[in-house]
């Protein structure tokens, strides 16, 4: 996120306005994609066969399509004008740039959903190193493309596309890495259907029933930043000070997120090593990880976070 913000901040003219517009659009987009990332836990728990994986992917295709529809509505309809311009009290220029950026981000939830679904399947089979490499490749791709696009004509024609295209390229690299990792390491190993010894075949209803409480929690967490942007912008009456304040929040928020980001990932550890989970019998491992080990590991992560 810091690299993406740098792509906007490098614009010579209207840098503050561009950063505020991108920040408003990005925070709203993250609210829509937040629930998608928790589908990693569905892949971690329920996907034991090729048929289960197909159902999980189908759920995410539908969720990505719904998110894209909302993006389009907010970009073009009166609903978007009310949410962006009226509620936030931003001027016409910032509002139009925000809605345009939101439209450009419409396809990102679908790519993010595909990546997280396969990340969960890989974590289930202990390929966490591959998942980590995919995430790091995502970051590297974003930084590289920001640097490349800053030397293109986009800086003059459409500066908003610099961070947005870089975001897409990073997501494409991550999604491709995870999908290739799945097909190379897991697809030929798992059965076509889940038998009773693996807990039976998962249904779409079971997946959604498991997913929606987790998604609700993460959506509630993600809505906090749009609400903060809303109150800051309204409190300053949509003036230039409001635009500057939202731009500052956009630049500083990723730094504040760093110390506690691990909390959302620690949830994947226990399901992957739980010996009572029938689906874990698929994985041949000699690890002796217990709940006590996981607790100690969590406390070490917390100590490191507090140190940072």
- For the question of whether the overall pTM of this predicted structure is more than 0.85, the answer is no
267 domain residue, yes or no: yes
pLDDT at 11: 65
97 domain residue, yes or no: yes
For the chain, the C-alpha Rg in angstroms (whole number) is 21
Rounded Cα–Cα distance for residues 64 and 303 (Å) = 37
185 domain residue, yes or no: yes
Picking from 102, 121, 143, the residue whose alpha carbon sits closest to that of residue 2 is 143
Strands in the chain per DSSP E: none
Q: What is the DSSP letter of 87?
A: I
Find the domain containing 239 and state its range: 1-276+286-307
281 domain residue, yes or no: no
Q: How many domains does the chain have?
A: 1
pLDDT at 284: 47
- DSSP assignments along 144-208, one per residue: HHHHHHTTSTHHHH-TTHHHHHHHHHHHHHHHHHHHHHHHHHTTTTS-SS--GGGT----HHHHH
Continuous segment of H or E residues that includes residue 268: none
| Cβ burial 215-235 (10 Å sphere, 16+ → b, else e) | beebbeebbebbeebbebbee
pLDDT at 159: 81
pLDDT at 131: 92
Within the chain, which residues score under 50 in pLDDT? 282, 284
pLDDT at 197: 61
Rounded Cα–Cα distance for residues 65 and 229 (Å) = 26
With contact defined as beta carbons under 8 Å apart, do 4 and 159 qualify? no
């Amino acid at each position: 996120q810091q690299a993406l913000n740098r792509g906007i901040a490098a614009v010579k003219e209207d840098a503050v306005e561009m950063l505020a517009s991108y920040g408003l659009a990005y925070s709203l987009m993250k609210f829509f994609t937040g629930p998608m990332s928790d589908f990693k836990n569905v892949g971690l728990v329920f996907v034991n066969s090729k048929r289960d994986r197909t159902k999980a992917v189908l759920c995410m295709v539908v969720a990505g399509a719904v998110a894209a529809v909302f993006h389009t509505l907010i970009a073009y309809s009166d609903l978007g004008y009310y949410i962006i311009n009226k509620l936030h009290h931003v001027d016409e220029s910032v509002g139009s740039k925000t809605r345009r950026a939101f439209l450009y981000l419409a396809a990102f939830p679908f790519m993010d959903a595909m990546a997280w679904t396969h990340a969960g399947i890989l974590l289930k089979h202990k390929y966490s190193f591959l998942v980590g490499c995919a995430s790091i490749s995502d970051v590297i791709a974003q930084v590289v493309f920001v640097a490349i696009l800053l030397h293109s004509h986009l800086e003059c024609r459409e500066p908003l596309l610099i961070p947005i295209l870089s975001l897409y390229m990073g997501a494409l690299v991550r999604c491709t890495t995870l999908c290739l990792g799945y097909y190379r390491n897991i697809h030929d190993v798992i059965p076509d259907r889940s038998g009773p010894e693996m807990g039976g075949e998962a249904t779409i209803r079971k997946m959604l029933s498991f997913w929606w409480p987790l998604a609700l929690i993460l959506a509630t967490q993600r809505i906090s930043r749009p609400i903060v942007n809303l109150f800051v912008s309204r409190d300053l009456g949509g003036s230039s000070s409001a635009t500057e304040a939202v731009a500052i929040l956009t630049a500083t928020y990723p730094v504040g997120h760093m110390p506690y980001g691990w909390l959302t990932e620690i949830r994947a550890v226990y399901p992957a090593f739980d010996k009572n989970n029938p689906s874990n019998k698929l994985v041949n491992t000699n690890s002796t990880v217990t709940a006590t080990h996981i607790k100690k590991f969590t406390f070490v992560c917390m100590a490191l976070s507090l140190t940072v």
